Amino acid sequence: MDEFGPDIISVLDDDGKEQEFEVLDRIDTDDKSYVALIPHYENEADLLQDDGELIILRVSPDDDMLLEPIEDEDEFDEIGRQFEERLSELYDFEDDGE
């Protein structure tokens, strides 16, 4: 793997299908870790069709290889704001009106 290339991980979705994602950033708090992901595509045509939505997941405290959804809305909003602030220089985020 290229030392300076993107950090690509494979994640199994709810249907057991493997999806590849690029890890954009990671936030570690005192007791939890989170990752911001975007889908990774080998084919540029697939990339152009993607909606560019950022995916934020929590790293399981029991298994660093397991990612889980953030169920608490306040927790999700706070971590989402932190990622948006950290990544705003690299990506143009649209305000969804919330």
12 is a domain residue: yes
CB 10 within 8 A of CB 18: yes
How many structural domains is the chain composed of? 1
CB atoms within 10 A of CB 83: 21
The pTM assigned to this predicted structure is 0.75
Q: Is pLDDT larger for residue 19 or for residue 73?
A: 73
Sign of the dihedral through C-alpha 90, 94, 96, 98: positive
Whether pLDDT at 58 is above 90? yes
18 is a domain residue: yes
Q: What is the residue range of 37's domain?
A: 7-87
Residue spans of beta strands (DSSP E) within the chain? 7-12, 18-28, 33-39, 55-59, 67-68
96 is a domain residue: no
**Dist. CA 21–CA 55, nearest whole Å:** 9
Q: Mean pLDDT across the stretch 67-80?
A: 95
Residue 54 is predicted with a pLDDT of: 83
2 is a domain residue: no
97 is a domain residue: no
